[in-house]
């Protein structure tokens, strides 16, 4: 039996007036996803918790079949694992976004989706000016980077993701709580350092958003995850561009595959990811494909870009996987990790639609793959991490253990 999971990040949405009351998923042409839903099970699953962050850090742990309430320590430690940065006991990692702040307002959480090449120069400059005394910066992909702290202060500050405060004054959302002064000092000091760089002067001349500040968030210590193969008996590979998802894979012992041109933003190599997933199944029992593009489109409020991204996932990832698995014992699961509604441009805790088809999955739903149709089936998996056990179980004909759990 071969298993494939496709995760179009943030794909679930709410009805939009500009789409005639449809969601982007309903507006998109998704014949392959529709085929999965029509041939198999369709329902809702919730990967988020009211008491925890609503982002992909918690949600993707749940997608992978881990209970975040038992193993989540923060977002940045997971990204550190992907970057090969090993945290010692007591060390704290923070996600370090390069952002654009305009007159005290968070104008862009990604500094105009700055390139990794430009960002690496800026991160090295920050190390020269702000490194030491337990502080070290590590370059990542695009605007996503890392800060490691091993100083004398105990950092337990509450931090806000920058994509949650777009067009709002940053003064109301700076770190607060124990150790917040350390983080605030670094963030404020970065403004003066970055403002005078040649890279930002060129970006401004070209009409691009400058990376004129760092934003620290998602802090935590090293997590401990039981190996995936021991939990579920499957050897799995992951196709993903963002460090968060790659880091989860590293922490639970999965193989992480490289795809040339996979960027973690709107302009990514969709076809390359689909082909890599098909090839991965020759030597693995399972492949998990994560595509960040729908989420990125939501954060910038671009409806057409989100529709285009959904269609690209359908055409270049889901459709080729269905064709490659045809005639073999298999199951394929399609689901976003969380919703990212265009109207709010950030993550929310609503349940998301999942579609599952293949060998021994029970009666087909006969419905198209949409949020509304999934809700109407009455099948709800909550808490969401139980969906993995249902997916890989000996038979998926019954209801998953935990259906409609409070």
pLDDT tens per residue across span 248-277:
999 999 999 999 999 988 999 999 999 999
For residue 406, pLDDT beyond 70: no
Helix (H, G, I), strand (E, B) or coil at 25: helix
CA 213 to CA 163: how far, in whole Å? 14
Predicted pLDDT of residue 373: 98
- Average pLDDT on 334-353 reads 96
pLDDT at residue 394, as a whole number:
74
Q: What are residue 147's DSSP bridge partners?
A: 94, 137
Q: Which pLDDT value is given to residue 401?
A: 44
Say how many CA atoms lie within 13 Å of 137 toward its Cβ: 28
**How high is the pLDDT of residue 28?**
98
Name the class of domain 2-70+226-392.
alpha beta
Residue in 102, 6, 24 with CA at minimum distance from that of residue 355: 6
Q: Comparing C-alpha atoms, which of 220, 222, 226, 223 is closest to residue 65?
A: 226
Residue with tokens 């193993």: 71
Q: Give the predicted TM-score (pTM) of the model.
A: 0.87
In the structure encoding, which two tokens stand for residue 359, read together?
A: 């060998």
pLDDT of amino acid 397: 45
Closest listed residue to residue 62, CA positions, set 248, 257, 340: 248
How far apart are alpha carbons 189 and 193 in whole angstroms?
A: 7
pLDDT at 146 over 90: yes
Does residue 40 have a pLDDT over 70? Answer: yes
- Whether the pLDDT of residue 405 is over 50: the answer is no
Q: Which residues contact 353 (CB under 8 A, 6 or more apart)?
A: 12, 25, 42, 43, 44, 335, 336, 369, 370, 371, 373, 374, 375
Of 161, 180, 170, 174, whose CA–CA distance to 218 is shortest? 161
CB 135 within 8 A of CB 151: yes
Q: Which residues of 302-314 are buried (b: 16+ CB within 10 A; e: fewer)?
A: bbebbbbbbbbbb
Angle formed at CA 231 by CA 226 and CA 236, multiple of 5 degrees: 95
Where are the domains positioned within the chain?
2-70+226-392, 82-220
φ and ψ at 356, to 5 degrees?
A: -140, 125
297 phi-psi bin (left φ>0, alpha ψ -120 to 50, beta other): alpha
pLDDT tens for each residue of 65-123: 999 999 999 999 999 999 999 898 889 999 999 999 999 999 999 999 999 999 999 99
CA–CA dist 399, 380 (Å, integer):
9
Question: Per-residue pLDDT tens for 148-181?
Answer: 999 999 999 999 999 999 999 999 999 999 999 9
Burial of residue 343 (number of CB atoms within 10 Å: 0-12, 13-18, 19+): middle
Span 302-329, pLDDT tens digits: 999 999 999 999 999 999 999 999 999 9
């Amino acid at each position: 039996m071969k298993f494939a999971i496709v995760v179009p990040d943030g794909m679930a949405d709410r009805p939009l007036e500009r789409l005639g009351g449809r969601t982007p998923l309903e507006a998109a042409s998704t014949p392959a996803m529709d085929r999965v839903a029509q041939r198999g099970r369709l329902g809702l699953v919730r990967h988020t918790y009211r008491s925890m962050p609503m982002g992909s850090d918690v949600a993707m742990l749940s997608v992978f079949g881990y209970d975040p309430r038992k193993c989540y320590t923060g977002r940045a430690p997971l990204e550190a694992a992907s970057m090969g940065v090993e945290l010692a006991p007591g060390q704290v990692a923070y996600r370090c976004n390069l952002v654009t702040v305009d007159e005290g307002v968070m104008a862009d959480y990604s500094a105009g989706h700055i390139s990794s090449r430009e960002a690496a120069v800026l991160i090295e400059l920050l190390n020269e000016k702000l490194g030491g005394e337990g502080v070290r910066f590590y370059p990542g992909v695009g605007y996503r980077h890392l800060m490691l702290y091993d100083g004398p202060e105990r950092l337990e500050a509450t931090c806000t993701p920058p994509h949650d405060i777009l067009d709002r004054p940053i003064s109301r959302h700076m770190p607060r709580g124990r150790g917040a002064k350390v983080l605030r000092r670094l963030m404020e000091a970065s403004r003066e350092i970055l403002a005078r760089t040649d890279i930002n002067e060129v970006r401004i001349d070209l009409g691009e958003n400058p990376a004129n500040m760092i934003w620290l968030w998602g802090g935590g210590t090293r997590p401990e995850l039981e190996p995936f193969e021991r939990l579920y008996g499957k050897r799995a590979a992951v196709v993903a561009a963002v460090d968060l998802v790659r880091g989860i894979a590293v922490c639970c012992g999965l193989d992480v595959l490289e795809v040339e041109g996979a960027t973690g933003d709107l302009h990514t190599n969709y076809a390359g990811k689909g082909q890599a997933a098909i090839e991965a199944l020759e030597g693995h029992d399972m492949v998990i494909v994560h595509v960040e593009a729908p989420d990125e489109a939501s954060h910038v409020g671009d409806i057409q870009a989100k529709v285009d991204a959904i269609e690209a996932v359908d055409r270049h990832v889901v459709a080729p996987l269905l064709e490659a698995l045809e005639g073999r014992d298999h199951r394929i699961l399609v689901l976003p990790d969380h919703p990212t509604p265009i109207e709010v441009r950030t993550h929310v805790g609503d349940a998301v639609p999942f579609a599952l088809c293949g060998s021994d999955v029970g009666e087909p739903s006969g419905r198209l793959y949409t949020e509304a149709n999934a809700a109407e089936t009455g099948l709800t998996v909550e808490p969401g991490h139980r969906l993995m056990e249902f997916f890989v179980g000996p038979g998926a004909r019954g209801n998953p253990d935990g259906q409609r759990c409070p």
